[in-house]
Structure 1
Amino acid sequence: MTAAGAAPASGPETNPRLDDLSRADVPFRTGHFQAYAPHDFHRIAYVEWGEADSPHVVICVHGLSRQGRDFDALGYRLAKLGYRVVCPDLPGRGLSGWLKDPELYGLPQYAADMAALIAHLRVQGKIDWVGTSLGGLTGMVLAAAARSPIRRMVINDIGPFLPWAPIREIGSRLRDAPRLHHNLASGESRLRTVLGAFGPLTDEQWRHIAKYSFHQVPNGGWRPHYDPGIGDAFRPGRVYSVSMWRDWDVITCPVLLLRGEHSDLLLASTADEMTRRGPPTRRVEIPQCGHAPALLDDEQLRIVTDWLGPAA
């Protein structure tokens, strides 16, 4: 690992400093719009990389308790290839609004909000989709729909069958997470423990993850960026195995499937089955990772950018 506070190496292949986006050599913007949930509107925030008029759009959607800034390194790389890359915060996360009714945190709402995002962006034609965990499930729902706008899809460590045991564990971590940390270093320390399955990360990468995982509160301390209500669906008695094979089997767009070598959520047997049925799928195993690869190191980024290729 790099020493805390050490400057990153420079050179044409090195990512820009993730905590100093003003130094990036590609356009970077933020935006938001109002989306609808029953009886209420809520804010959906996003960050956007690349030229706003590029017709080649990639939407990157994060996992359950994460947010769009997880994709900064990938957004930068894809923008350099000519893509317009949009990384939203799902409702209840990051800078997006919280839903008044926690029961609405689920795939129908997420899919509706992402469809609204596509409309808000005024995308002409098809898009590419990169989804980690929950973001992959959301992409599957949209890709399975008739007249789907998704042209190609990268699914990061998730599949159409989810065993109940790791789902229960994810719910337990959400419920047990401290509601307040005295400082950001304390929050980062917890993330290094609970997100250890992301794989080997540098100190700078952990600092980047932590920076956008907590919000400073006026009376002191740092709270997690997400609404605790997103964990309501994982309360005891509500956790069960999930099957979405019906969606998977009607998807037709090409898929790049990434699986963490030690993943307990995307079982090897499920990944095998995903290559035998449904859409044309290329499977890549990511070493030294569980659920889910962070998509921050050079090799993981190269796998995704090589598969998508230059915007054309």
Structure 2
Amino acid sequence: MAQLVTDDGVAIVYDDLGPRDGVPIVLCHGLAAAGEQLEADAHYFAGLGYRVLVPDLRGHGRSGKPAPLSAAGFSIPRMAADLVAMLDDAGVDPVHWVGNSLGGILALELLPRQPARFRTLATFGTAYRLSLPRWGARFIPLGYALFGPRLIAGMTAWGTTRAPSARPLIEKLVARFDPQVGRCVAENLSNYDLIANAVAATLPILMLRGGRDAQVNAALGPTLKAMQGRPNFALVEVPEGGHCANLDATEVWRTELLKFWRRH
């Protein structure tokens, strides 16, 4: 485990696994999760000789959060800057970046600003553009208050995956998540458009589309319209994958990533 303090005073914790001279990978989780979501995968890839960095985003897992809490403290550029600080702290460049949902959004934010940081980008559960009412973010703390963390965690796990083996970890992560952090992050995620960043990028980009990730798939139309046919973009279907495809379609997810990295 490693830790750094950002320029606005937030402690960011990340795991650094595998040989120091291995090809570096970043595995970055999404909203309401933590690096623990990708822990088994990190050990798997480290065992193959890769150097694997797994952050806990600010306000998630073991990392700290700014005080007072505000949407500005969890903006997409702010959270992306934390990850640049992690790469600097670890002394790695460039990396194969794998982002789930928010973890992919943050990479898309960095593409035009820090292109030399990337070897490749792979996303799963990530729409490159989203437009939702900003007020919807208020329902995150309201739901926790009305139903309690355990019930919210259980409902989220059932809605995220059909795999019984994956649900306990999702429940654990969601139950311990701070819903006020969720509100702050969700306010920033309600309306963003990073398609132009992906279109302008020249690095290899892979989208792993989970067949059971209904909500994100419903929002992918503009992304796919802009990206399909581009020579550096590949779309791979993961039919049994939900929003966290690494947990419920693990073998396919890992195999497709390894094929992608080895091609590039």
Deviation of the 1:57 alpha carbon: 0.8
Matched positions, count: 258
Deviation of the 1:172 alpha carbon: 2.7
Which among 90, 93, 100 is matched to residue 57 of structure 2? 90
Task: Look up the match of 2:164.
Answer: 202
- Report the Cα distance in structure 2 between the residues aligned to 1:178 and 1:303, rounded to whole angstroms: 40
Q: TM-score, normalised by structure 2?
A: 0.84
Deviation of the 1:174 alpha carbon: 5.0
The aligned amino acid for 2:123 is: I
The aligned amino acid for 1:32 is: Q
Task: Look up the match of 1:163.
Answer: 131
Give the 3-state SS of the residue equivalent to 1:129 in structure 2: strand
Superposed CA RMSD in Å reads 2.9
Deviates more, 1:172-181 or 1:257-266: 172-181
Task: Look up the match of 1:149.
Answer: 117
Structure 1 residues 246 and 239: CA distance shift in structure 2, 3 A = closer
In terms of fraction of residues, the more helix-rich structure is 2
CA contact (8 A) 1:94 1:226 kept: no
Which among 250, 261, 284 is matched to residue 236 of structure 2? 284
Give the 3-state SS of the residue equivalent to 2:30 in structure 1: coil
Deviation of the 1:81 alpha carbon: 1.7
Deviation of the 1:198 alpha carbon: 3.1
Deviation of the 1:201 alpha carbon: 2.1
Task: Look up the match of 1:18.
Answer: none
Deviation of the 1:74 alpha carbon: 1.5
Which among 301, 305, 312 is matched to residue 254 of structure 2? 301
- Report the Cα distance in structure 2 between the residues aligned to 1:45 and 1:68, rounded to whole angstroms: 9
The aligned amino acid for 1:36 is: D
Deviation of the 1:277 alpha carbon: 6.5
- Report the Cα distance in structure 2 between the residues aligned to 1:50 and 1:194, rounded to whole angstroms: 32
Give the 3-state SS of the residue equivalent to 1:86 in structure 2: strand
After superposition, residues 144-293 of structure 1 pair within 5 angstroms as 144-145=112-113, 147-164=115-132, 172-178=139-145, 187=150, 190-203=152-165, 205-214=166-175, 224-226=176-178, 228-232=180-184, 234=186, 241-261=191-211, 262-266=213-217, 267-276=219-228, 280-290=232-242, 292-293=243-244
Q: TM-score, normalised by structure 1?
A: 0.72
Give the 3-state SS of the residue equivalent to 1:299 in structure 2: helix
CA contact (8 A) 1:199 1:288 kept: no
Deviation of the 1:279 alpha carbon: 6.8
- Report the Cα distance in structure 2 between the residues aligned to 1:229 and 1:304, rounded to whole angstroms: 31
Give the 3-state SS of the residue equivalent to 2:6 in structure 1: strand
- Report the Cα distance in structure 2 between the residues aligned to 1:279 and 1:250, rounded to whole angstroms: 12
CA contact (8 A) 1:105 1:230 kept: no
Q: Percent identity?
A: 20
- Report the Cα distance in structure 2 between the residues aligned to 1:284 and 1:300, rounded to whole angstroms: 10
Deviation of the 1:268 alpha carbon: 4.3
For structure 2, list consecutive stretches of 5 or more residues without a partner in the other structure. none
Which among 43, 52, 55 is matched to residue 11 of structure 2? 43
Deviation of the 1:210 alpha carbon: 3.7
Deviation of the 1:284 alpha carbon: 1.6
CA contact (8 A) 1:60 1:85 kept: yes
Deviation of the 1:155 alpha carbon: 0.7
CA contact (8 A) 1:250 1:279 kept: no
Deviation of the 1:121 alpha carbon: 0.1
